[in-house]
């Protein structure tokens, strides 16, 4: 995965001539992730009709959504296999700022009234 | 410099990207991160507005009680079924996209082309489904600034009795009242913004597919463009996971 191929002068980084050397991880994991995603969606569907509406059901839905998100980002978007620096650069700001935003909503939401 | 030989090759020593990816791929990730903030703001805003209606005389309606239609099954109560189908279509187009990326790693032009066609068909099918759902909602009176999709106490009672999955169900007089306007506006804004991403994804996919066909990437020596558009496409799927969760399930 190094970009030490240079068609230009030594040490010069030119995006147009950059040649990646991707490794294939096969298709087995990809199909497995597809079936897990499908299964979780079916579980979502079932829970909606079985469990009564309420906070605990919502927490289950959000947790299952996060599992799907981790699978899509990690395997389909290949982030699990990227350099550690890149993984953190993407995952950390997203996790910190989005949970901060959600926390603000939970904190302030009950004071807001639009009706 | 004398001890540079002892430094492991995994340690970044300058001269190359510390992320070990090309500039274009890195920038795609940065763009997607910013887009994730956009969508999370929309969904958190949706949550805040919906939350503010608790205890209101015009309560927020149960979204799945509103979106209970399925094509060719008019009058039947089938909540969540159509969006689940849309979710399935998007997950399927996501797996064909990642298979195209994998085929690109093996430089198999024919397979990349085949899987990209499947992905484009999946995206177009999803857009078709969304168009159908929008037209249903608009036909029944949903607008950006008006919403007659409130459900009265009597309506919920009626739903509890007759609204079994797969049953024949029609709203009666007095079941519905004008509901919260943001319910309709946010439906159009959130699913519309996501749908616009899908539309752009389909267009970009078609452009990249044409390049695959013309052999642009074969000449270039790598199929990294397929990977970049793949990242975008999976992101669209990722956003749908949360739209599905927060708009339809909760």
Distances (CA, A) of B173 to B67, B163, B237: 19, 16, 39
> Which residue reads 């990816």 in tokens?
B21
> Which residue reads 């906070």 in tokens?
A55
Pick the residue from chain B with its C-alpha nearest to A55.
Answer: B250
- Identify the CATH homologous superfamily for domain B16-249: Cytochrome c oxidase, subunit III, four-helix bundle (1.20.120.80)
> Which residue reads 């790598």 in tokens?
B222
B222 and A22 within 8 Å at the Cβ level: the answer is yes
Residues B117-147 pLDDT 10s: 999 999 999 999 999 999 999 998 899 998 8
Whether B61 and B151 have beta carbons less than 8 Å apart is answered as yes
Kindly indicate the confidence band of residue B195, based on its pLDDT and cuts at 50, 70 and 90: very high
Please give the mean pLDDT across all residues of chain B. Answer: 90
Residue B87 has its nearest CB partner, among A3, A27, A41, at A41
Q: Which residues contact B83 (CB under 8 A, 6 or more apart)?
A: B67, B133, B244, B248
Pick the residue from chain A with its C-alpha nearest to B9.
Answer: A2
Kindly indicate the confidence band of residue B220, based on its pLDDT and cuts at 50, 70 and 90: confident
Residue B238 has its nearest CB partner, among A31, A72, A109, at A72
pLDDT for the residue B127? 98
Mutate to test the interface with A, among B45, B114, B166, B249 (most CBs of A within 10 A): B249
> Chain B within 8 Å of A82 (Cβ-Cβ)?
yes
Q: Quote the tokens at residue A47.
A: 């829970």
pLDDT for the residue A106? 80
B250 and A58 within 8 Å at the Cβ level: the answer is yes
**Mean pLDDT across B77-82:** 91
Q: DSSP letters along B97-108, please? A: HHHHHHHHHTT-
- Report ipTM (2 d.p.): 0.90
Lowest mean pLDDT among B12-21, B128-137, B206-215: B12-21
pLDDT for the residue A8? 44
A86 and B21 within 8 Å at the Cβ level: the answer is yes
Chain B residues in contact with A31 by the CB 8 A cut-off are 95
Give me the phi and psi of A106, to 5 degrees please. Answer: -65, -35
CA B139 to chain centre: 23
Chain B residues in contact with A85 by the CB 8 A cut-off are 12, 18-19
Q: Quote the tokens at residue B116.
A: 């990209």
Chain A residues in contact with B41 by the CB 8 A cut-off are 101
**Mean pLDDT across B233-246:** 96
A86 and B88 within 8 Å at the Cβ level: the answer is no
**Mean pLDDT across B2-20:** 62
Mean pLDDT by groups of 10 residues along chain A of 115 residues: 46 56 85 96 94 93 96 94 91 95 83 63
Return the SS3 of B177: strand
> Which residue reads 């040490």 in tokens?
A11
Q: Quote the tokens at residue B38.
A: 């956009």
> Chain B within 8 Å of A85 (Cβ-Cβ)?
yes
pLDDT for the residue A1? 44
Pick the residue from chain B with its C-alpha nearest to A107.
Answer: B48
Greatest Cα pair distance in chain B: 87
* CA angle A68–B94–B130, rounded 5-degree value: 90
Lowest mean pLDDT among A40-44, B21-25, B115-119, B227-231: B21-25
Q: Where are the domains of chain B?
A: 16-249
Closest CA relative to residue A33, chosen from B31, B129, B237:
B237
Residues B142-173 pLDDT 10s: 999 988 888 888 988 898 888 888 888 888 88
B52 and A114 within 8 Å at the Cβ level: the answer is yes
The neighbour count for residue B205, using CB atoms within 10 Å, is 25
Burial of B245 (0-12, 13-18, 19+ CB in 10 A): buried
> Chain B within 8 Å of A89 (Cβ-Cβ)?
yes
Q: Quote the tokens at residue B48.
A: 């805040």
Chain A residues in contact with B88 by the CB 8 A cut-off are 38, 41
The neighbour count for residue B69, using CB atoms within 10 Å, is 19
Q: Which residues contact B131 (CB under 8 A, 6 or more apart)?
A: none
Return the SS3 of B56: coil
A30 and B23 within 8 Å at the Cβ level: the answer is no
**Mean pLDDT across B78-106:** 95
Chain B residues in contact with A115 by the CB 8 A cut-off are 52-53, 56-58, 180
> Which residue reads 């082309």 in tokens?
B113
Looking at chain B, the whole-number percentage of residues with pLDDT higher than 90 is 60
Rg of chain B on CA atoms, in Å = 23
A114 and B182 within 8 Å at the Cβ level: the answer is yes
Chain B residues in contact with A86 by the CB 8 A cut-off are 19-21, 26, 29
Q: Which residues contact B87 (CB under 8 A, 6 or more apart)?
A: A41, B240, B241, B244
Return the SS3 of B133: helix
Q: Where are the domains of chain A?
A: 83-110
Q: Quote the tokens at residue B15.
A: 């001269």
Pick the residue from chain B with its C-alpha nearest to A105.
Answer: B48
Query: Å from B88 to nearest chain A CA?
Result: 7
Q: DSSP letters along A6-71, please? A: -SSSTT---GGG----PPP--SHHHHHHHHHHHHHHHHHHHHHHHSPSSHHHHHHHHHHHHHHHHH
Lowest mean pLDDT among A45-49, B176-180, B199-203: B176-180
């Amino acid at each position: 995965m190094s970009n030490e191929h240079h068609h230009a002068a030594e040490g010069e980084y030119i995006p147009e001539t950059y040649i990646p050397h991707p490794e294939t991880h096969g298709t087995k994991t990809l199909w497995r992730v597809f079936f897990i995603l499908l299964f979780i969606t079916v579980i979502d569907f079932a829970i909606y009709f079985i469990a009564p509406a309420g906070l605990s059901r919502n927490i289950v839905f959000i947790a299952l959504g996060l599992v799907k998100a981790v699978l899509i980002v990690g395997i389909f978007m290949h982030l699990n296999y990227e350099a550690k620096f890149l993984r953190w650069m993407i995952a950390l700001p997203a996790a910190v700022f989005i949970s901060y935003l959600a926390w603000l909503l939970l904190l302030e939401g009950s004071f807001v009234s639009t009706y | 410099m004398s001890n540079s030989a002892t430094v492991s090759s995994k340690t970044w020593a300058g001269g190359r990207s510390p992320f070990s990816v090309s500039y274009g791929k890195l920038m795609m990730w940065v763009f997607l991160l910013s887009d994730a903030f956009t969508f999370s703001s929309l969904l958190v805003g949706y949550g805040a507005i919906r939350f503010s209606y608790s205890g209101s005389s015009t309560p927020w309606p149960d979204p799945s009680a509103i979106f209970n239609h399925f094509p060719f099954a008019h009058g039947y109560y089938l909540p969540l079924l159509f969006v689940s189908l849309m979710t399935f279509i998007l997950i399927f187009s996501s797996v064909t996209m990642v298979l195209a990326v994998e085929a690109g790693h093996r430089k198999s032009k024919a397979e990349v082309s085949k899987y990209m066609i499947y992905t484009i068909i999946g995206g177009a099918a999803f857009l078709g489904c969304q168009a159908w759902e929008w037209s249903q909602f608009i036909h029944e009176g949903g607008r950006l600034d008006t919403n007659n999709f409130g459900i009265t106490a009597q309506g919920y009672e009626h739903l509890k009795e007759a609204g079994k999955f797969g049953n024949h169900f029609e709203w009666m007089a007095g079941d519905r009242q004008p509901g919260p306007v943001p319910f309709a506006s946010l439906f159009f804004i959130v699913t519309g913004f996501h749908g616009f991403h899908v539309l752009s994804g389909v267009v970009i996919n078609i452009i990249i597919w044409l390049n695959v066909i013309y052999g642009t990437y074969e000449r270039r020596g790598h199929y990294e463009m397929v990977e970049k558009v793949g990242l975008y496409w999976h992101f669209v799927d990722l956003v749908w996971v949360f739209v599905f969760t927060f708009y339809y399930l909760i």
